[in-house]
Amino acid sequence: MNNKAVQIIGALIIGFLIGYVIANNAGNAKITELEDQKSSVVVENRQLTEKAKDVDALKAELSRLNLNSASGGGVNSKMMPHPDTGELSVELQEVFSFDNNHAFCRVDNNPEAFIMPTFQMGEVLIEENEFFMAMSTTTIEEFKVTKGTDGHNEILITGGLDCFTEVAKANLTMGSREVAEFAEYRIKATDAGLGGGPAGDTFEFTVFFEPDTAPINYAIFGPEFTFTGDMIDGEITIPEPR
C-alpha cells in the first residue's frame, strides 16, 4: 500500500473519529438538555402542586371565615297573660346573642306582673321584679349554615347549656341565679336581609329540659320550650352557605 492510500485511509479514520466525537458530544448535550428540561418540569410540577395546596388552604380559610362571620344579637318581645284580664298584654323582653363561640338568651327582669303558665304547677302569678332567666351555652356541637325554603340564610346551632332561672317571691324563692341546671339546646336563626326583625330576621332558642338534671326548669317550662318572640331590636348576619 503506497503512502497516498495510507494518507487517504488515515484521513477517513480521523474524519470518522472527529464526526463520532462531534455526534457523541451533540448526543450528550441533547441528553443533558432533556435531563435539564425534565428537572425543570419536575420543579414546575412541584411548584404547581404547592400552589394548588395553597389555593385549597385559602379556600378552606375563606370558608371558615365566612362561617365564623355568622352572628347576631338583639331583643325578642313576647306578650304574657295579664293577671287581671288574662289577655296577652304584658311585654316580656328576651335579650339574645350568638356567634360561633357562644350564645345566650336572658330575661333580666319583669317590670310588670304577669301570669306564667307552667308545666307542672299550673298558672303562677309572677309579681313585678320577681322573674329572672338566663341561658348560656357551654358547648357548641353543631354550627351549620343552610338555605331556607324561602331563600333566606339560616343557621342551626346545637349543644349544651347552663340555665339559671329564679322566681323570687316574698316568701319563697324558686330556682337560683347562681346555681345552674344543665340542658341541651337547638338554636335556629334566620337572616332575611338588612333591617333586623322588621326585615324578617328571627331567633329561636329551643331548650330540652330533663327532670333529673333540670328539675326547676322542667317544672316551669316542660320537656321542650322555645324562647322566641317578635324581634324588636338587633340584626342577624349569616353568610351564604358553601
The answer on 192 and 169 residing in a single domain is: yes
Give Cα 136 to chain centroid, integer Å. 17
Q: Mark whether 25 and 90 lie in a shared domain.
A: no
The model's pLDDT over 124-154, given as tens digits with 9 standing for 90+, comes to 999 999 999 999 999 999 999 999 999 999 9
* Residue 53, phi then psi, degrees to nearest 5: -65, -40
64 and 81 belong to one structural domain: no
User: What pLDDT shows up at residue 64?
Assistant: 47
> Which amino acid, one-letter code, is at 26?
A
Three cell numbers written together for 61: 380559610
Work out whether strand 173-175 and strand 131-137 pair parallel, antiparallel, or are unpaired.
unpaired
Q: Please report whether residue 242 resides in a domain.
A: no
Helix (H) or strand (E) holding 187: strand 181-191
Reported as a single tens digit per residue, the pLDDT across 170-205 is 788 899 999 999 999 999 999 999 999 999 999 999
Q: What's the structural domain count of the chain? A: 2
Residue that terminates a domain, selected from 50, 68, 86: 68
Q: Is the residue at 8 inside a domain?
A: yes
pLDDT, greater one: 219 or 168:
219
What are the C-alpha distances in Å from 188 to residues 97, 207, 238?
A: 12, 11, 11
Q: Is 169 a member of any domain?
A: yes
The yes-or-no verdict on residue 224 having pLDDT over 80 is yes
Answer yes or no: is 142 within a domain.
Answer: yes
Domain assignment of residue 19, given as a range: 1-68
**Is the pLDDT confidence value at 9 over 90?**
no
Residue 54: inside a domain:
yes
- pTM of the entire predicted model: 0.72
User: pLDDT band at 46, cuts 50/70/90?
Assistant: confident
> Which is higher by pLDDT, 193 or 59?
193
pLDDT bucket at 212, cuts 50 / 70 / 90: very high
Please determine, for residue 106, whether its predicted confidence score (pLDDT) is greater than 80: yes
* 88 or 170: which leads in pLDDT: 88
Gap between the Cα atoms of 118 and 132, Å rounded: 15
What percentage of the chain carries pLDDT values higher than 70?
Answer: 77
The verdict on residue 223 lying in a domain is yes
**Residue 17: strand, helix, or coil:** helix
Q: Please state, for a pLDDT cut of 90, what percent of the chain lies above it.
A: 68
Residue 48: per-residue pLDDT: 76
Q: From 62, 54, 205, select the one nearest 136 (Cα to Cα).
A: 205
**How many whole angstroms separate alpha carbon 202 and alpha carbon 230?**
8
- Cα–Cα distances in angstroms (integers) from residue 161 to residues 114, 181, 186, in the given order: 27, 8, 10
Q: Does 92 share its domain with 36? A: no
φ, ψ of residue 11 in degrees (nearest 5): -65, -40
Among 68, 102, 118, give the residue marking a domain's end: 68
Residues 148 and 182 in one domain: yes
User: Do 64 and 77 sit in the same domain of this protein?
Assistant: no
- Could you tell me if 168 and 55 lie in one domain? no
The verdict on 210 and 166 lying in the same domain is: yes
Confidence of residue 242 (pLDDT cuts 50, 70, 90): confident
Asked whether 160 and 182 are in contact (CB, 8 A), the reply is yes
Q: Hey, how many other C-beta atoms are within 10 angstroms of the C-beta on 115?
A: 19
Same domain as 154, residue 47: no
Average pLDDT, the chain: 87
Chain CA centroid to CA 85, Å: 44
List the beta strands (DSSP E) in 33-147.
71-81, 88-98, 103-107, 114-117, 123-126, 131-137, 142-147
Euclidean distance between CA atoms 141 and 49, whole angstroms: 34
